Amino acid sequence: MGGTCCGVSREPTQVAKSLIPLPKWSTDAYLNALDKAEELAGQPALAGEICAVLVEQGSIFAPVKKGQGVQIFLFNLMREDWVYTNAANDRYTTKSQEGYYNYTEWFTMKNKGYGLDSDQRVISLPETKTINMAQLFEILKSHDATKLEDNQWMFNGDYHFLD
């Protein structure tokens, strides 16, 4: 499990942390509303369903009635690995299940060779090749086909960050 500003126990494999401070009472309110919305829907919940539960419960978060406001909390709870989402990132659950992934799982699947620094910026890991912008321009401007052939790895379809 992840942690918030009030509980910072994180698994060593967790790659991210919340970008905004989330006190335990607010995370509990959202996680409870998410569980209730999922129970009522019989499937992982939509942001609007979580909003409806918050309003029904008379939560102090009820003014955050738009899905975007709820999603701010959900995304930060996801970064703490407390919430799982599907590929469309429109349904949420607190339970690990097929087709749903937490932030660490998504990040690891989609960003092989990259990690996050202490400021939560994406960085390349030491073993990951990056592309030098000046070198890339030189290759693209050149009429020498061997330069392109020698650097084919840059165009293999994988993500590559500039250094």
CATH number of 38's domain: 1.10.10
Cβ–Cβ under 8 Å, residues 70 and 60: no
* Residue 149 one-letter amino acid: E
pLDDT at 7 over 80: no
Distance between CA 44 and CA 85 in Å, rounded?
A: 8
pLDDT at 3 over 50: no
pLDDT value of residue 18: 83
Stretch 86-108: mean pLDDT, rounded?
A: 94
Instruction: Tally the domains of the chain.
Output: 1
Full-model pTM = 0.75
Range of 45's domain? 24-109
- Residue 63 located in a structural domain: yes
Residue among 102, 107, 105, 103 nearest 123 (CA): 107
Give the pLDDT confidence of 61-79 residue by residue, as tens digits. Answer: 665 555 567 778 888 899 9
- Residue 139 located in a structural domain: no
Percent above pLDDT 90 for the chain: 40
**How many C-alpha atoms does 47 have within 13 Å on its Cβ side?**
17
Quick one: tokens of 38? 């999922």
- Residue 2 located in a structural domain: no
Q: Where are the beta strands (DSSP E) in the chain?
A: 84-85, 92-93, 114-116, 122-124
pLDDT value of residue 2: 42
